[in-house]
């Protein structure tokens, strides 16, 4: 296996970072999860824009141009013979000292891993997920901006731990006002009376690339799509409920907090959008 580290490909065993890297010491850095379909990198421009935006917010200088990053991603995918797989692109603050000052780190570190991913077993795409509401709220926007896809993922991890302890497949997180934000690793959608609803980014969700694509696909199918604040009540009484994400793609939810969604199976609109997403991704 070959890993891109800083400016070249190295063997997996040689892909080492310093214990003084602030990505390790403080979770100081940004990342992207990107899919590869039919040997092509999916929605690359959107992913790179989000990476650069996240870096700008935390004042992290990415030591490569867009074109250099694209070339590095292509080389890593080809070196590992990835046809359908997953890329983890990480930019850490780089090597510094034990203090907090990020500007003492001389240069950011770039890491690219291209491998396989299987977030959920196939049977769950047929049967649907069981999820729970968790007490861990999404980061307050005046603390860590939820739109920054940072290496500091503890907020989401704590939510995931709650869901695992409850025996559920995923966690549903709410913001400080009680509105639905997102799942621990995916965006939330519901369907009610033929209308597709999704929480706005301002509610505390990441502006998911798959989220954006599914909204566009729904519009192409003449399905009304509305961004609005959703409450726990809205989730409980939804006709359909599904999650979207780079790893999950589109997957139905059939139960939340012991409340059955619809008839207890992924609904027709969920199935349609999953089908359309699959067709688009592999086209």
Percent of the chain with pLDDT over 90: 97
User: What are the pLDDT digits (tens) for 28-44?
Assistant: 999 999 999 999 999 99
Domain tally, the chain: 2
CATH assignment of the domain containing 26: 3.30.470.10
User: What are the pLDDT digits (tens) for 206-225?
Assistant: 999 999 999 999 999 999 99
Residue of 20, 34, 30, 8 lying closest to 210 (CA atoms): 34
pTM of the model: 0.95
Last residue of a domain, one of 59, 83, 115: 115
The domain in which residue 201 lies consists of: 122-282
User: What are the pLDDT digits (tens) for 7-31?
Assistant: 999 999 999 999 999 999 999 999 9
Q: Which helix (H) or strand (E) holds 9?
A: strand 8-11
**Token duo for residue 55:** 């870096």
Tell whether 141 and 92 lie within a shared domain: no
Residue 200: its pLDDT value, please?
97
Identify the bridge partners of residue 112 per DSSP, sorted by sequence position. 4, 89
Give yes or no for residue 117 having a pLDDT over 90.
no
Tell whether 193 and 240 lie within a shared domain: yes
CATH assignment of the domain containing 172: 3.20.10.10
Tell whether 106 and 127 lie within a shared domain: no
Cα–Cα distance for residue pair 86/106, rounded to 1 Å: 30
Residue of 185, 160, 162, 191 lying closest to 254 (CA atoms): 191
For residues 45 and 69, is the Cβ–Cβ distance under 8 A? no
Tell whether 72 and 131 lie within a shared domain: no
Tell whether 97 and 135 lie within a shared domain: no
Tell whether 135 and 202 lie within a shared domain: yes
Tell whether 192 and 269 lie within a shared domain: yes
Quick one: 65 exposed, middle or buried, by C-beta within 10 A (0-12, 13-18, 19+)?
exposed
106 assigned to active site: no
Tell whether 200 and 272 lie within a shared domain: yes
Q: Catalytic pick from 2, 130, 149, 276? A: 149
């Amino acid at each position: 296996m070959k890993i891109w580290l800083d400016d070249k490909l190295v063997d997996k065993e040689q892909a080492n970072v310093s214990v003084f890297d602030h990505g390790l010491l403080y979770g100081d850095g940004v990342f992207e999860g990107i899919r590869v379909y039919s040997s092509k990198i999916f929605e690359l421009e959107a992913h790179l824009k989000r990476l650069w935006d996240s870096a700008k917010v935390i004042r992290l200088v990415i030591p490569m141009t867009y074109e250099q990053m694209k070339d590095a991603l292509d080389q890593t995918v080809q070196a590992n013979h990835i046809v359908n797989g997953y890329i983890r692109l990480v930019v850490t603050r780089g090597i510094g000292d034990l203090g907090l000052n990020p500007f003492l780190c001389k240069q950011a570190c770039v890491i690219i891993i291209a491998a396989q991913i299987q977030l959920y077993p196939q049977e769950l795409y047929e049967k649907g997920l069981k999820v729970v509401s968790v007490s861990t709220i999404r980061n307050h926007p005046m603390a860590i901006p939820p739109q920054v896809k940072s290496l500091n993922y503890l907020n989401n991890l704590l939510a995931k731990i709650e869901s695992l302890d409850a025996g559920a497949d995923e966690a549903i997180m709410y913001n400080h006002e009680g509105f639905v934000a997102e799942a621990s690793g995916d965006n939330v959608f519901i369907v009610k009376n033929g209308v597709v609803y999704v929480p706005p980014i301002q509610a505390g969700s990441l502006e998911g690339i798959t989220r954006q694509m599914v909204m566009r696909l729904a519009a192409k199918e003449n399905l009304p799509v509305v961004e609005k604040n959703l409450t726990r009540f809205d989730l409980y009484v939804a006709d359909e409920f599904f999650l979207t994400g780079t790893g999950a793609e589109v997957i139905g939810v059939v139960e939340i907090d012991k409340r059955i969604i619809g008839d207890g199976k992924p609904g027709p609109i969920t199935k349609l959008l999953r089908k359309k997403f699959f067709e688009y991704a592999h086209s």
